[in-house]
Structure 1
């Protein structure tokens, strides 16, 4: 697996790690990250906003909705407050299955397996397109007769075809019982944020894997047939922000990463 890691070309997971202040990146990633930040100075802010969104969503699902199982696909490099850490801090019996196809993530997977003794975590080296394999493996840890939260943070951006991306999300949600939830975030394109388009174009020319932006309306389609929790599909920074994250006007700045949480009834 290790020889699949290309340290000569910037990689999105490592750049994301760099923006979040992590150390699992190389000079080529830092150089690309700095170049992207020149095009879009707020890029680090929406990396952090996405991470904070994960924490708030997981805390809400565990504390207020009673969810104890999470299927986290497109996990990314381990950093502070991974899904199992947030969930098990509230409910130590929580179970989490992580899924990613990045060999660098696989080399760090042991950091994702530090479960509380009452709960359990597992890691699967797989592509989200292989839905049957993901579900079969996850069933060894998760009980699909009970609610599961499907976490798809910044992952469907790697699937270019809209209908394929929608179909994959629906296939997984169809396999989950009522009471399950979808937590999804996605880089958007908007006339109000032209620098984001420039940053993504730079990335797609120089880095791997390629990214696909979608409009907020297109992102909302992933939640069709589900009940959106308030405040709906919004900037990740504005999804139920903690008081410490709000400015004097009471609302955080908008970032180009939108997300939502929705329930399967």
Structure 2
């Protein structure tokens, strides 16, 4: 069921490309080359990646400090960097639990080496669309009590899922398992320029050998949030989602944006 791909360092991965854009060290020549090609089409992609990472920090801190969330499920967690979900959440409450999910072999290897010493955190090897497998996993059940509120994170990952895999249905399947009072964080790459969407989508499909979805539009993100209670300030460029300091320079991405926000799972009729 889960992805058993061998590590082929000649094929770029979206996770390792993101790591390079953030100034990380878990990337290889193929990833760096692919990033340089991407930057030719979208020169401010590095700024986009940084703004998205800062959004993750702010939204997790908000969920932990203001909404009292102590359980986090991070779909498509990517490579470890500074201020990961568990570090931000556990700074508020050390007993916060975090389940990371990814299928990139490099992500899994580096993630496990870091998380082995933290018994409130784990990483599950799975394709994020394998919801039955994920929710029945022993490590998931050890750390997550679905009778209590949970925060589910789909941060900069749904554009990696093809239309055939139905990312909207994935979100719906996950939400159906959550009790009211839980939260969903979601953002993905969008552009209203059809030429850019096509160019970047084709580039990423070619570079990752098909392990990619497509750049979508804002309306797609609105559709993902259907039936959820979107929290202020609404669905926005994540750069503008409750910025915590004017001292942190916010250079905007121009060609495309990470668009999304935070929503609560409402009481069911």
* TM-score where L is the length of structure 1: 0.90
Within the candidate set 14, 29, 32, 2:31 is matched to 29
Which whole-Å deviations, capped at 9, do the CAs of 1:186-222 have from their partners, x for residues lacking one?
A: 011213x855653333222222412312111111111
Q: 1:112 to 1:234 in 2, by over 3 A?
A: farther
Contact 1:246-1:252 at 8 Å conserved across structures: no
Write the deviation string for residues 117-160 of structure 1: whole angstroms up to 9, x where unpaired.
xx711111011221111111222211111000001112221222
CA distance in 1, matches of 2:222, 2:202: 23
Alignment match of 1:243 (pick from 242, 245, 252): 245
Contact 1:70 1:148 in 2 (8 A): yes
Match of 2:124 in 1: 124
Shift of 1:229: 0.7
Q: CA deviation at 1:224?
A: 0.9
Residue of structure 2 in register with 1:258 after alignment: 259
Mapping of residues 90-109 of structure 1, within 5 Å: 90-109=92-111
- State how far apart, in whole Å, the 2-side matches of 1:39 and 1:243 are: 30
| Change in CA separation of 1:37 and 1:44 when aligned onto 2, cut-off 3 Å | same
Indicate the residue corresponding to 2:135 in structure 1. 135
SS at match of 1:25: coil
Classify 1:246/1:23 alpha carbon distance in 2 versus 1 (closer, same or farther; 3 Å): closer
Q: What is the CA–CA distance in structure 2 between the aligned matches of 1:26 and 1:126, rounded to whole Å? A: 23
Contact 1:5 1:104 in 2 (8 A): yes
The answer on whether the counterparts of 1:185 and 1:259 sit within 8 Å (CA) in structure 2 is yes
Note the residue ranges of structure 2 that are not aligned, 5 or more in a row: none
Q: SS at 1:219's partner residue?
A: helix
**Kept in 1: contact 2:13–2:31 (CA 8 A):** yes
Bigger Cα displacement from structure 2, 204-213 vs 26-35: 204-213
**How far is 1:87 from its partner?**
0.4
Give 5+ residue unaligned stretches, structure 1: none
Mapped contact 2:197–2:215 kept (Cα < 8 A) = no
Task: Work out whether residues 12 and 34 of structure 2, in 8 Å CA contact, stay in contact via their aligned partners in 1.
Answer: yes
Moved over 6 A (4+): none
* Aligned 8 A contact 1:236 1:258 in 2: yes
